[in-house]
Structure 1
Amino acid sequence: MGDHNQSQQINEAEIQKVIAQYDKESSFRELAGFVRWFVTLFAIGFTVYQLYVSIFIPPPEQILRSIHLAFGLGLIYLLFPVLRKGNWHRIPIWDWILAILGVGVGLYWLIEYDGLVTRIGAFTDTDLLVGGLAILLVLEAARRVVGWPIVVIAVLFLLYALYGRELPGFLQHRGVSIERLIGHMYFGTEGILGVPIGVSSSFIFLFILFGAFLEKTGVGDYFNDLALAIAGRRIGGPAKVTVFSSALQGTISGSSVANVVQSGAFTIPLMKRLGYRSEFAAGVEASSSTGGQIMPPIMGAAAFLMAEFIGMNYWDIAMAAAIPAILFFAGIWMMVHFEARRTGLRGLTEEEMPNRKEVFKKIYLLLPIVVIIVLSSIGVTPIRSALYGIVAAIVVGAFRKETRMSLKDILIAFENGAKAALGVVAATAAAGIIVGVVTLTGVGLKFANGLLELSGGVILPTLILTMIASLILGMGVPTTANYIITSTIAAPAIIALGYPALSAHMFTFYFGIVADITPPVALAAFAASGIAKSKPIRTGVESTRLSISAFIIPYMFVLSPALLLVDTTWVEGTWVVAKSFIGMIAVSAGLIGFWFRRMPGWERIILTIAGLLLIMPGTLTDIVGLGIIGVELVIQYLQTRNRKAVLNE
């Protein structure tokens, strides 16, 4: 028993090491004494403020967003050290000063609201000092919590705003004075206090808090048990458990890396114990966890941002994203299935399985998620849906003694929710700088025109160039900021060719997310590699191979918007989904090299091409693709049956 506990401690230490290395948003200082209580009360106060403005009449949006930023900046400087190897047990004086300044620049809007509203465009020296300080504080906060990539991008955009007049070609603009830049960045609603942090201060915070309450009721652990009960005994069961569990975790998680660490600590050792290669085990976890960010209803908070950016109802966004997300996980599931068949990997034995009866008795733990989905579907606002979901989590937790929440548990959930939101606050504030430069200089349209010029205005080359841009812009950037950057810079090129805004935004969102598993900067894959003790780059390659559906699906819903339920009938939508599933089976089998039997190289290529033809829109491609797949299916089935008959003789 002592050895088991020691093993558990070692595993926990390893997990914390992975978190510190790859998930900066969860790497908090470990404080004690009065300081610990102060920071805890500050975090609880953040949650209480957010609940108050959500339940009652909110203040003007500038005040709502600036106080949200004040809480965020204050907590970030108290909880995150200057350097990763900094002091994790005390707060140095300079961070107290930065925390006070962060709160101060946020409260400046509250104190000077009337004056700021009346003197827009004629800012005082004090205004400009506060605005400039706000920009610097946001950049440093983003560096500490989110990392360098988004800071580098934001700084490059600021430099572009100031010195763009010196650039040659289509990127040149008239230039912006530093006074105008600061005013636009902090005293308008198109910069730091723009739409991104507006969504963070309303919808996103409440859904993060909802996730914190679900964790306190044990829903996170229950996802693993439910996945085991459903898929554990199947061929390749442990890997399929990973796919299913990560899909469920993704409904409440806002981070690919956090999802990897949370579920991978359980699934990766299980897969390795049953004979899976380290790179394959880590790749399955990384690709599945990354796919969790495209799974409704939350989609890493991108669903709420997308609704605001393109002016659609949140529920319509979630519904449109559902079919591609299911296709994505179906693709990984099939890759795992064919790999397990090819290598002869077994499922779990009955002794290794949890008690199914006990697992299904706890199915009520999913009720809070059902409440959110049902309320959203009948037109209840996301804010109200999240609030009712939180109440439902508390009520559901009360059904059993071990999940019943005391006042202390509720306050801990308040604290955890506020801490979990800090990454989003920093990311959306920094992304607001990027969006602000785009609106100030028109670089989004210039970039779109540049892409169209390079592609000659032809859709397929445009999509390929947009994919590359989204992969680069998404490297090392968390989900929320990822979507803001890619949709602002890359999506306009697709829209300019006459395709629906929803298709364009989803396209860039998917490839921004896939950057988490695409080398050379594949944070989710590297985090999984840290748990599996596998080679990071090989794990990234394996993750990319398993996630091939994520590279295909975005092209599908641009070229065939029926996949997103855009301007389509149910009959057409059903056909598109059905043929896409068949095509995905063929592509998965071709890439793995196994269907009913092992396949030689030429057969794998033909089957993969047939699957891609079926996925592409067009009657002729559908007929050819179905024909090839049908013939291949019959041949393989008959050959397999004949071989079994010979062996039985």
Structure 2
Amino acid sequence: MSAQDGEPQGRKFTDEELQDLVASTDSGARSPANRQIALLISGLALAWSLFQLWIAQPQLWFGEYLPVLNSSQTRPIHLFFAIVLAFLAYPALKSSPRQYIPVGDWLLAAIGGFCTLYIFVFSEHLALTARSGLPTQTQIIVGSVGLVVLLEASRRALGPALTVVGSLFLLYAYMGTGWLIPELIEHEGLSFKALINAQWLDTAGVFGIPLGVSTAFVFLFVLFGSLLDKAGAGNYFIKLAFAGLGHLRGGPAKAAVVGSAMTGLISGSSIANVVTTGTFTIPLMKRVGFTNEQAGSVEVASSVNGQIMPPVMGAAAFLMVEFIGISYVEVIKHAFIPAVISYIALVYIVHLEALKKDMPALGEAKSFPAMILKFFIGFAVAGAAFTGLIYLVGALRSVVPTLTGPIMMVALLAVYVWLVSIAARRPDLEVDDPNAAEIKLPKVGDVYATGLHFVLPIVVLVWFLMVERQSPAKSAFYATSLMLLIIVTQRPLKALMRGTADNMWNEARQGFDDLKEGLIAGARNMIGIGVATAAAGIIVATVTKTPIGTELAGLVEQLSGGVLIIMLILVGVFSLILGMGLPTTANYIVVSSLMASVVVSLGAQEGLIVPLIAAHLFVFYFGIMADVTPPVGLASFAAAAVSGGDPIRTGFTAFFYSLRTVALPFLFIFNPTLILYGVDLGTVSGVAQAVFVFIIATFAMLLFAAATQGYFLARSRIHESAALLLVAFTLFVPNVWLNMLQPPFREVPPAQFETVLGEVAEGTQLRLQIEGPDFNTGGTAATTLTMNAEGATPAERIRNSGLLLIPEGDIVRLDEPAFGTEAAEALGNFDFYADSPVFLAAVQVPRDRLPEQVFYIPALLLLGLVIAMQRRRQTKPAF
């Protein structure tokens, strides 16, 4: 075989094989020939979706007639559907039959279903027995069988990775010691009864927080995305991206990036994203000069980036809410800038590739800066309209508070009908053939009007999340409810408005068929996620019941020799390895359970205060890179199946394109302002700071992309690329240089702590270095604690912090902090009752320093020098 430029080529899959690849990964590859069995699988999936909509609706009007289920009851039912469908929809092996379901699979589905329903039926009895520490023999048998069946369901739906990891954690929790278990994380081991009780019967293992998030939030968002796609929004987004960007140099690649970003908003699967958008974009990228591997890599990089894109983030956003204890809006706030600048940089990367290869545009070439200007104008207009809507609704509430809801519903329906009438004036969008002899790019004016009504559910979702500050579950329910209305009514409404009223019945029937198929597809797409969150609960329970969670920091510290940057690199590598072969949801649960606290504790030991959200985003970014990186880069293999390229080379090229995603976590660890940590968006100054951070970060990321691609205005020489990297680094983290020039803190003796505390202004943040015996190892531990000076007097400020200080001459000893305070949580690993005391080792007070932005001046001068050198060699416009 051969490919462009004489490169080796892999086998290019047919459309049927590609759909089978997605099905095998996301929804189950089995397709029974027996109609009754096929209907049974579809019926179970449909029942699952209807059950999830039932428990999600916020008005409990039925509580007078029917029992209202609590979380300990809904989670087993959720897992019941997932585990039964996993055995019915996923064959045991690649060689297993797909046209019928073997008897063994029926048996496993029945056993798995029984073990999950047992938890539902006997939930009250379990509360009095197993969950009180007194499990019965029957419960232990049910739990042990349930765990084995769950791990097998995980293997079928997700591959062997999570099953192997979960099994190893079960063995570690049970055995505690052994020649393969490092001494640092040894423990006495749990009894078999205690193990099964913790993992299956209690509410902190399989039926713990991860499965709870899947039940309450994730299903609705996956269903929402499935209905949007079934209604035609997926094709609409791709067409819109090509209409806007297809006329530029390397336009198909830019459209692939933007299209994947838009589908990533509604998709929880990077593999499905690759195949859905890639079947259209990859052939077009190859037509304008991208090699097989490059075309596949662009699609991989953009599709995997969809997992870091709010609002869904591959369901990780909802898990972060539970794990970190912050609101969903806060998670979106922190994740937004890194995700957006990463996508902007990827668009620039493919632009540079197009310049390097002098690629033609598809059709008449258009101006890239003009496109960017139009985008920002459109964004500003949409933002102004949304802001105006907020004030309009606020005024309406002040005038007729009781009628505001009904009026808004009527207005929403009127806008929907109006937008459908606009769409009805144009023909429905067809799926284009990328291999056609002549490619005719659509015009933005012809495309955008055909799907404006698809934006309404997204607006409703954002409105309830950001403006009404409702829970993610309630917000998703309202958005999904509108989506249900749209998918059923859009076809008959168009028929009526096009003057073909006699066809309305057929169109209405097709709308209900779309609804049914969307509900079934949404449930089948949830099988893997439901099983993954349940199996990942095994890891979470093991971390809480054994010392592995607290002692991993010591292992990383030993391996790194105490060098902070090496520690972070090791944590990133461990997260990458742990994430291999796992879907995004399970991936995040595993890496965050094991590694997020390691980043925080190691940073504190080295004097770097890392916000918990930054640590979670750090490990999450590295975890999803496992979808890219060989040898287990599932998204890279999917892209190679579309492009016909070599999967390993595709993976390495995609990793190179994704270097910005690798660099970002390090940057916001050292400069948390990049994730808007500490920025108050409720004030004008906070919004201005956020805009400033976004502009600087975008500019810096573009320079980073140019440096890693070896092309800016012309092909870069090594010293020019190094200079661009230096400029980008300075723009991202100018505080690093400032800390070298002027230390951020001055140290005062611990004995003078109270004196200094009385001198500083209220709200000043001091850093306290604490040392003392470690509760788990008995050795000496150290950490850095932040303390805000809140109160009128030093004594009041100390009391508000929760610290209990006992001065003894030049030494200030610490007693156990007040329960429930931040200090108690931060110092939880210290043994306050050991022979050696826990004491205050040093006090650091902030200095008055130069503004860190002063380092932008030499950085921009260096950038000007690079521009001057490259202008002499520039042969084509930079944009």
Instruction: Indicate the TM-score class for this superposition, using the shorter chain for normalisation.
Output: over 0.9
For 1:420-441, what per-residue CA distance to the aligned partner results, in whole angstroms no more than 9, with x for missing partners?
1101011101100111111111
- Mapped to 2, the partners of 1:586 and 1:592 lie a distance apart of 10
For 1:118-143, what per-residue CA distance to the aligned partner results, in whole angstroms no more than 9, with x for missing partners?
11311111100100011011100000
Residue 49 of structure 1: aligned partner: 51
Which of 642, 657, 661 lines up with 1:550 in the alignment? 661
- Mapped to 2, the partners of 1:67 and 1:396 lie a distance apart of 29
Change in CA separation of 1:588 and 1:639 when aligned onto 2, cut-off 3 Å: same
- Mapped to 2, the partners of 1:139 and 1:306 lie a distance apart of 24
Paired residues, number: 634
- Mapped to 1, the partners of 2:529 and 2:583 lie a distance apart of 8
Q: Secondary structure at the match of 1:426?
A: helix
Residue 172 of structure 1: aligned partner: 186
Q: How does 1:582-593 map to 2 (within 5 A)?
A: 582-593=699-710
Change in CA separation of 1:268 and 1:536 when aligned onto 2, cut-off 3 Å: same
- Mapped to 2, the partners of 1:562 and 1:214 lie a distance apart of 34
Which of 455, 463, 468 lines up with 2:560 in the alignment? 455
Residue 444 of structure 2: aligned partner: 356
The answer to whether the Cα contact below 8 Å between 1:142 and 1:427 also exists between their aligned partners in 2 is yes
Task: Give unpaired runs (5+ residues) of structure 2.
Answer: 1-11, 365-438, 496-506, 680-685, 736-851
Deviation at 1:611, TM superposition (A): 2.1
- Mapped to 2, the partners of 1:396 and 1:235 lie a distance apart of 37
For 1:87-121, what per-residue CA distance to the aligned partner results, in whole angstroms no more than 9, with x for missing partners?
10111111111111111111112222222111131
What is the identity, as a one-letter code, of the residue corresponding to 2:473?
I
Q: Which has the larger radius of gyration?
A: 2
Deviation at 1:347, TM superposition (A): 2.1
Q: Secondary structure at the match of 2:176?
A: helix
What is the identity, as a one-letter code, of the residue corresponding to 2:552?
F
Residue 22 of structure 2: aligned partner: 19
Deviation at 1:192, TM superposition (A): 0.3
Which of 573, 581, 589 lines up with 1:468 in the alignment? 573
- Mapped to 2, the partners of 1:276 and 1:178 lie a distance apart of 57
Change in CA separation of 1:45 and 1:25 when aligned onto 2, cut-off 3 Å: closer
- Mapped to 1, the partners of 2:70 and 2:460 lie a distance apart of 30
* 2:104 is the counterpart of 1:94: yes
Deviation at 1:638, TM superposition (A): 6.0
The answer to whether the Cα contact below 8 Å between 1:613 and 1:624 also exists between their aligned partners in 2 is no
Residue 718 of structure 2: aligned partner: 601
Q: Secondary structure at the match of 2:627?
A: coil
* 2:31 is the counterpart of 1:29: yes
Change in CA separation of 1:314 and 1:465 when aligned onto 2, cut-off 3 Å: same
Which is worse superposed, 134-143 or 442-451?
442-451
* 2:394 is the counterpart of 1:382: no
Deviation at 1:606, TM superposition (A): 2.6
The answer to whether the Cα contact below 8 Å between 1:236 and 1:347 also exists between their aligned partners in 2 is yes
For 1:262-321, what per-residue CA distance to the aligned partner results, in whole angstroms no more than 9, with x for missing partners?
111111011112221111100000000000000011000000001111011112111211
Residue 6 of structure 1: aligned partner: none
- Mapped to 2, the partners of 1:155 and 1:529 lie a distance apart of 31
Residue 295 of structure 1: aligned partner: 309
Q: How does 1:604-643 map to 2 (within 5 A)?
A: 604-618=721-735, 619=852, 622-637=856-871, 640=874
* 2:457 is the counterpart of 1:368: yes
What is the identity, as a one-letter code, of the residue corresponding to 1:235?
R
- Mapped to 2, the partners of 1:46 and 1:396 lie a distance apart of 21
Which of 138, 160, 174 lines up with 1:162 in the alignment? 174
- Mapped to 1, the partners of 2:874 and 2:267 lie a distance apart of 43
What is the identity, as a one-letter code, of the residue corresponding to 1:16?
Q
Which of 128, 134, 151 lines up with 1:139 in the alignment? 151
The answer to whether the Cα contact below 8 Å between 1:74 and 1:102 also exists between their aligned partners in 2 is yes
Residue 534 of structure 1: aligned partner: 645
Change in CA separation of 1:559 and 1:591 when aligned onto 2, cut-off 3 Å: same
- Mapped to 2, the partners of 1:414 and 1:364 lie a distance apart of 20
- Mapped to 1, the partners of 2:308 and 2:237 lie a distance apart of 18
Q: How does 1:205-216 map to 2 (within 5 A)?
A: 205-216=219-230
Which of 538, 542, 560 lines up with 1:433 in the alignment? 538
The answer to whether the Cα contact below 8 Å between 1:24 and 1:144 also exists between their aligned partners in 2 is no
Deviation at 1:442, TM superposition (A): 2.9
Residue 622 of structure 2: aligned partner: 511
Q: How does 1:308-327 map to 2 (within 5 A)?
A: 308-327=322-341
Which of 77, 85, 92 lines up with 2:95 in the alignment? 85
* 2:123 is the counterpart of 1:123: no
Residue 574 of structure 1: aligned partner: 691
What is the identity, as a one-letter code, of the residue corresponding to 1:48?
L
- Mapped to 1, the partners of 2:204 and 2:858 lie a distance apart of 50
The answer to whether the Cα contact below 8 Å between 2:723 and 2:863 also exists between their aligned partners in 1 is no
Deviation at 1:637, TM superposition (A): 3.8
Q: Secondary structure at the match of 1:406?
A: helix
Residue 121 of structure 2: aligned partner: 111
* 2:636 is the counterpart of 1:525: yes
- Mapped to 2, the partners of 1:308 and 1:28 lie a distance apart of 35
Q: Secondary structure at the match of 2:713?
A: coil
The answer to whether the Cα contact below 8 Å between 2:490 and 2:511 also exists between their aligned partners in 1 is no
Which is worse superposed, 36-45 or 284-293?
36-45
Residue 349 of structure 2: aligned partner: 335
- Mapped to 2, the partners of 1:387 and 1:59 lie a distance apart of 17
- Mapped to 1, the partners of 2:526 and 2:448 lie a distance apart of 32
Deviation at 1:370, TM superposition (A): 2.0
- Mapped to 1, the partners of 2:532 and 2:205 lie a distance apart of 13
What is the identity, as a one-letter code, of the residue corresponding to 2:447?
V
The answer to whether the Cα contact below 8 Å between 1:616 and 1:622 also exists between their aligned partners in 2 is no
Change in CA separation of 1:566 and 1:477 when aligned onto 2, cut-off 3 Å: same
Residue 247 of structure 1: aligned partner: 261
What is the identity, as a one-letter code, of the residue corresponding to 1:13?
E
Deviation at 1:14, TM superposition (A): 3.6
Change in CA separation of 1:535 and 1:10 when aligned onto 2, cut-off 3 Å: closer
Which is worse superposed, 602-611 or 226-235?
602-611
Higher helix share: 1
* 2:655 is the counterpart of 1:421: no
The answer to whether the Cα contact below 8 Å between 2:244 and 2:443 also exists between their aligned partners in 1 is no
Residue 73 of structure 2: aligned partner: 63
Deviation at 1:25, TM superposition (A): 4.5
Deviation at 1:531, TM superposition (A): 0.8
- Mapped to 2, the partners of 1:257 and 1:340 lie a distance apart of 25
* 2:446 is the counterpart of 1:446: no
Q: Secondary structure at the match of 2:628?
A: coil
What is the identity, as a one-letter code, of the residue corresponding to 1:469?
F
The answer to whether the Cα contact below 8 Å between 2:245 and 2:255 also exists between their aligned partners in 1 is yes
Which of 150, 170, 175 lines up with 2:162 in the alignment? 150
Residue 5 of structure 1: aligned partner: none
For 1:412-458, what per-residue CA distance to the aligned partner results, in whole angstroms no more than 9, with x for missing partners?
22211111110101110110011111111131111123223433554
Change in CA separation of 1:144 and 1:24 when aligned onto 2, cut-off 3 Å: farther
Which is worse superposed, 451-460 or 42-51?
451-460
Which of 479, 484, 488 lines up with 1:394 in the alignment? 484
- Mapped to 1, the partners of 2:864 and 2:239 lie a distance apart of 38
Deviation at 1:639, TM superposition (A): 5.5
Higher strand share: 2
Q: Secondary structure at the match of 2:98?
A: coil
Deviation at 1:459, TM superposition (A): 3.2
- Mapped to 1, the partners of 2:83 and 2:874 lie a distance apart of 63
